[in-house]
């Protein structure tokens, strides 16, 4: 074992010594003396990127862009010379005295297959799972043959970490963590950090695609797409109002090639799905099963930009991007599908199977969309109990529905028990250039219970272009409300919503009936 290690150590040192690049830590000398291999490299006074972040916290978008450009150049250079790093992470990224990043520690790098001696290829494959589990690519975790796209995935995890100062996946064991990388979509960065636009989020999620062919094919493609998304976000910030910015139409493509990705659910679960074609022995498969049984749900916080508003002058709420919905019918009780609801410190189910949404964000709303289902005509009822809110502050909460996948259209029905027992029915449409937000109906209703500890049950019946709203069994109007601003009938997702900072609402008894 020691002899094989020394041979591998020196072979890989020789391979890396050929990588003369400004952003790759150079090797001055290497060899063996008194039976011990050695490598001589320069000292980097800035320490590691991980140490830098421990002092500074998450990087700004500009910092991340600057470091990503340098790392991408280094990785693509290594890949062109037949070397896959296999362990890209902040602890292996050094900073020089001028703040430039230097990629280091090619200790487990894979040289091109043609450079591997035939008798060593089997050992190479066995070593493929080496690396840091937090940053390992799915194919590396599965022991498959690696190419530069494995480093693109690890670079994507690194980018996620430097922007959020948390990893996309967390688990109690190496096997459990590997399963998350293999099976689970990462949480949305837009739910964790307020200045992450949907376009930036899509770039990161494409880098973290499970299959190599679905990712950016080179590190520089990732870097260029991220830079374009940063520029796009800055352009919008400089030219658009906050309300227009919040629901910016992300259909315009700023990447080349365009990212073809699916939005993840912000809940991390392990699905016990293993095909008989998986590599490895029965023991490994048993370990996977045992690990899946003990994994608990990893929670993520989420934040969505929203400017507080009065119903008569609404601002824009950002609804979380969602994947292409399935064709399965809407379940009668969506709360039975826990995995399709956002989970985190601000959104969770209690032991009574009631769903809590806590808004502790300044100038941010907390929407919770029910993922992967679309419905057009339906009847919905839900009971809402406001358990806390700020005094002398609006306390709006309610339901969002017919939410378009690209966020270009949706309705919002909400009540404010303590603010003069108000209700409001609003519509957002990005195609309405004159006034994207329209208040269809807003008024007071004595049917809304404003007493502490008392809940309100709302019922929404949506048929075509007309809507019926009932609060605690009392119809708000004698006849259905018609949307006067559009004749187009759309389908979309449903969701729950808490608007104001300091407000906590418990949702229960949610039922949805699809109308024919």
User: Catalytic amino acids?
Assistant: 87
Number of alpha carbons in the 13 Å side-chain half-sphere of residue 104: 21
Chain centre distance of CA 327 = 23
Q: Hey, what's the torsion of the CAs at 58, 135, 367, 498, to 10 degrees?
A: -60
Tokens 């890989």, residue located:
12
Give which of 73, 94, 86, 200 is closest to 154, Cα–Cα: 86
- Cross-strand bridge partners of residue 471: 458, 474
Tell me if the bond preceding 44 is cis, omega within 30° of 0.
no
Alpha carbon distance 236, 228 (integer Å): 12
Secondary structure class of 88 (helix, strand, coil) = coil
- Cross-strand bridge partners of residue 475: 470
Cβ atoms 472, 457 nearer than 8 A? yes
Eight-class DSSP state of 504: E
Alpha carbon distance 71, 251 (integer Å): 29
Give which of 61, 114, 62 is closest to 83, Cα–Cα: 114
Helices 219-239 & 198-207, crossing angle to 10 degrees? 170
Alpha carbon distance 53, 167 (integer Å): 13
- Kindly state the tokens that stand for 325: 């919905």
**Cβ atoms within 10 Å of 35's Cβ, excluding its own:** 7
Alpha carbon distance 226, 229 (integer Å): 5
Give exposure, 274-304, as e/b (b: 16+ Cβ within 10 Å). beeeeeeeeeeeebbeebbeebeebbbbbbb
Over 458-502, what HEC string results? Answer: EEEEEECCEEEEEECCEECCCCCEECCCCCCCCCEEEEEEECCCC
Cβ atoms 45, 99 nearer than 8 A? no
- Kindly state the tokens that stand for 119: 């008798």
Cβ atoms 355, 496 nearer than 8 A? yes
């Amino acid at each position: 074992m020691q002899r094989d290690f020394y041979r591998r150590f020196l072979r890989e040192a020789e391979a890396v010594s050929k990588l003369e690049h400004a952003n790759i830590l150079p090797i001055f000398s290497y060899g063996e003396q008194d039976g011990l291999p050695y490598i001589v490299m320069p000292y980097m006074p800035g320490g590691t990127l991980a140490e830098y972040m421990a002092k500074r916290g998450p990087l700004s978008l500009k910092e991340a862009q600057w470091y990503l450009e340098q790392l991408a150049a280094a990785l693509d250079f290594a890949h062109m010379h037949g070397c896959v790093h296999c362990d890209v992470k902040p602890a292996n990224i050094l900073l020089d005295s001028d703040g430039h990043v230097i990629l280091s520690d090619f200790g487990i790098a894979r040289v091109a297959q043609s450079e591997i001696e035939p008798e060593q290829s089997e050992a190479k494959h066995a070593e493929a799972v080496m690396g840091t589990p937090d940053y390992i690519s799915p194919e590396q975790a599965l022991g498959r043959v690696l190419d530069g796209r494995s480093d693109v995935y690890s670079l994507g995890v690194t980018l996620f970490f430097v922007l959020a100062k948390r990893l996309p996946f967390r688990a109690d064991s190496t096997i459990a963590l590997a399963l998350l990388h293999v099976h689970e979509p990462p949480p949305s960065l837009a739910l964790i950090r307020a200045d992450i636009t949907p376009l930036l989020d899509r770039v990161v999620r494409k880098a973290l695609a499970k299959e190599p062919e679905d990712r950016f094919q080179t590190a520089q493609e990732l870097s260029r797409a991220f830079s374009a998304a940063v520029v796009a976000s800055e352009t919008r910030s400089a030219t658009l109002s906050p309300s227009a910015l919040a629901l910016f139409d992300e259909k315009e493509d700023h990447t080349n090639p365009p990212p073809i990705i699916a939005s993840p659910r912000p809940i991390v679960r392990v699905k016990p799905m293993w095909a008989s074609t998986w590599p490895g022995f029965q023991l490994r498969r048993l370990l996977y099963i045992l690990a899946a049984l003990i994994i608990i749900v990893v929670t993520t916080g989420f934040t969505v930009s929203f400017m507080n508003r009065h119903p008569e002058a609404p601002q824009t709420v950002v609804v979380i991007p969602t994947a292409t919905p399935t064709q399965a019918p809407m379940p009668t009780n969506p709360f039975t599908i826990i995995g399709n609801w956002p989970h985190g410190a601000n959104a969770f189910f209690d032991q009574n199977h009631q769903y809590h949404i806590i808004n502790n964000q300044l100038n941010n709303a907390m929407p919770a969309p029910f993922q992967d289902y679309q419905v057009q005509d339906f009847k919905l009822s839900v009971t809402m109990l406001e358990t806390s809110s700020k005094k002398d502050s609006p306390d709006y909460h309610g339901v969002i529905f017919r939410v378009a996948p690209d966020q270009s259209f949706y309705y919002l029905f909400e009540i404010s028990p303590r603010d003069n027992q108000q209700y409001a029915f609003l519509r957002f449409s990005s195609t309405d250039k004159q006034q994207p937000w329209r208040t269809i109906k807003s008024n007071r209703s004595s049917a809304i219970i404003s007493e502490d500890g008392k809940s309100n049950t709302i019922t929404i019946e949506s048929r075509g272009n007309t809507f019926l709203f009932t609060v605690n069994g009392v119809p708000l109007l004698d006849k259905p409300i018609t949307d006067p601003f559009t004749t187009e009938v759309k389908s979309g997702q449903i969701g729950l919503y808490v608007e104001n900072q300091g407000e906590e609402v418990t949702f229960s008894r949610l039922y949805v009936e699809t109308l024919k």
